[in-house]
Structure 1
Amino acid sequence: MIAIIDYEMGNLRSVENALSRLGAEWKLTSDPEEIRSASRVLLPGVGNDAEAMERLRERGLCEVIRNLRHPVLGICVGMQVMCRHSEEGDVDCLGIFDAHIRRFPEEEGLKVPHVGWNRINNLESKLLKDIGRGSYVYYVHSYYANLCPDTIATTRYGTTLFSAALKYENFYGTQFHPEKSGDIGEQILANFLKL
């Protein structure tokens, strides 16, 4: 069973639909015991990092997430709150990934938030198995994770090269939305289910 962490941050329906298309069994939950006993955990999210951290703290989930030993995938804000610190709300996050969340700089001709399809350049990772370099994935974000030792894929937006995906031990994160990234995203979620 896959636990989708419910902390009231964003549209979960797309994630649920993507998992259902893959034939996966999932449960939306904020119960620490259900999260600990799941075979895999998804931490999706849309919105504000500071608010997301507050909601995780209110539910007593910060230490639960940090101590998980089975595969965990953070998506968008879910990945960002797994990093060290975010400029969005100047908040300390879970500290799993050795990355800091920054706002895209003001650049002429560059729209923020970054919305739409962009290429990823991936390194060797089981999460990105069979995903070709330069594949397109879907983004909606104003903040990004800097490059760090945990970076397993990158994307460039304007002059900024940022972490498109991260990995540390059993923890994975994608800044893009695999659940909205068509066949490529479905392959990434299928890879996650096989970890």
Structure 2
Amino acid sequence: MILALESAGPRCSVALWDGAVVAEASRDEARGHASILPVLVQEVLAGRQPSAVAAGVGPGGFTGLRAGLALAQGLALALGVPLLGVTTGEALAAEADNPDALPVWAAIDNKRGRIFLERPALPPVALDEAALPMPEGPILLAGDAAERTAAALAARGADARAVPPLLAHARGVARVAAAMLAGELPRRAAEPLYIDAPATTSPRP
């Protein structure tokens, strides 16, 4: 069984996977990830012991990522099980409505006027709309900036369409982690993908 956590965005979610989702819980909150996640983990585990832990590594919000990864690392260490990292784009693509198996680009609002863009086999980047790369063929876009990104690309002649989900969920993290454990995908370390520097407040004079 895989215990999966996702907290890179404004959603805290936890899922337990054993060939399919056994249990899951989530809360959509902009803040408080560090206090919400342990409650969700306890609810989902219900006394069961996983054989692996997986966590979303971003890109996403600094505080949410830090809280989720710290908890995942502590759980994996305490349980003595492997720890895997799954990117936000991988988690979104795993749950996207994609019957034609098109490339899925993840487009995430970085809350600073730009878009975190994650494409298959490429590192994520933060871009202005004007700097978005043109796809070579039809693509799907998932994430909370998917519609905005699809519209910007379509205006330039791209075959781009926004599809659910808007937010990554631990279900997708678990699905990707299962493929990693089965040798179908390369394993990724559970290290945060920070693109922007964390927001800070100006020091008082």
TM-score normalised by length of structure 2:
0.31
**Structure richer in strand, relative to its length:** 1
TM-score normalised by length of structure 1:
0.32
Kindly name which structure, 1 or 2, has the bigger radius of gyration based on alpha carbons.
2
Higher relative contact order (CA 8 A, sep 6+): 2
